[in-house]
Amino acid sequence: MTGTPLLEFEPLTEGVLIKRYKRFLADVQLQDGSVVTAHCANTGPMTGVLHPGGRVRLRYAPSPKRKLAWTWEQAEVPGTNEDSCWVGINTALPNRLIRAAIEAGCLQQALGPIGGIKAEVPYGENRRSRIDLLLTPDEGAPDPRPIYLEVKNTTWCEGPLALFPDTVTERGQKHLQELMGVLPDARGVLVPCLSRPDVTCFAPGDSADPRYGELFRQAMNAGVEVLPCAFSFEADRIFWKGQKPVLPEQSAIL
């Protein structure tokens, strides 16, 4: 099913990134010469994908409920080969992408047949956390246990190796511990959403967060499943590019 379009939408507007500032804001010059301020739905350092002067794509969605009509969705970056590629930088998108992939059957071999999907379900200690997706296996599934699935947007890479996280993330560490906590009565699944098409495998970003790397390997050894899923981005659609292998012992050396 590689190359299957999972999401289609109105074409995004292209421009040139002037600067990103205050974490949530980005100034972009559009092709007509005008400059707009867009919402940046990515609070991380955006290692390797933040290139002032580079091409970006914005979504225009004015609303009285929003302060900004523009949202930064994609950035063009130097690829791991000689070509450039487009990266999805909106951290609100991966949950939709992974849900669409599940509904399209892209992950059936790994997850089994799925009968139901719920989002943002309370779980964990005192049920104070929320799992991204709670999957109910279909009747007759080989493994009837519920599946707690956590999604992580992954844009950082070193060569063809995708890495997460790109900064210290206590929240991400907690999510790994909580996925271990659902075992063995349920399945715990971590899905790195590889939001760029030029990577071939995934590993934890030990150089950015050594503790996360330790917990990642501990979680895998405990039985947490890791399913890296890759996507490619165009101005009006997003394509499924398949699952990628995990290299739990390899990390970036900066």
Strand pairing report for 13-21 and 55-60: antiparallel
> How far is Cα of residue 54 from the mean position of the Cα atoms in its chain?
21
CATH number of 5-88: 2.40.50.580
Domain coordinates of the chain in residue numbers?
Answer: 5-88, 94-243
Rounded distance between C-alpha atoms, residue 37 and residue 187, angstroms? 42
Beta-carbon contacts of 222 under 8 Å, excluding residues fewer than 6 positions away, are 180, 183
Outline where DSSP puts E strands in 13-79.
Answer: 13-21, 25-30, 35-40, 55-60, 70-78
CATH number of 94-243: 3.40.1350.60
Rounded distance between C-alpha atoms, residue 245 and residue 155, angstroms? 16
pLDDT per residue rounded down to tens, the chain (254 residues) = 556 689 999 999 999 999 999 999 999 999 999 999 999 999 899 999 999 999 999 999 999 988 999 999 999 998 776 789 999 999 999 999 999 999 999 999 999 999 999 999 999 888 889 999 999 999 989 999 999 999 999 999 999 999 999 999 999 999 999 999 999 999 999 999 999 999 999 999 999 999 999 999 999 999 999 999 999 999 999 999 999 999 987 654 44
Report whether 77 contacts 87 (CB < 8 A): yes
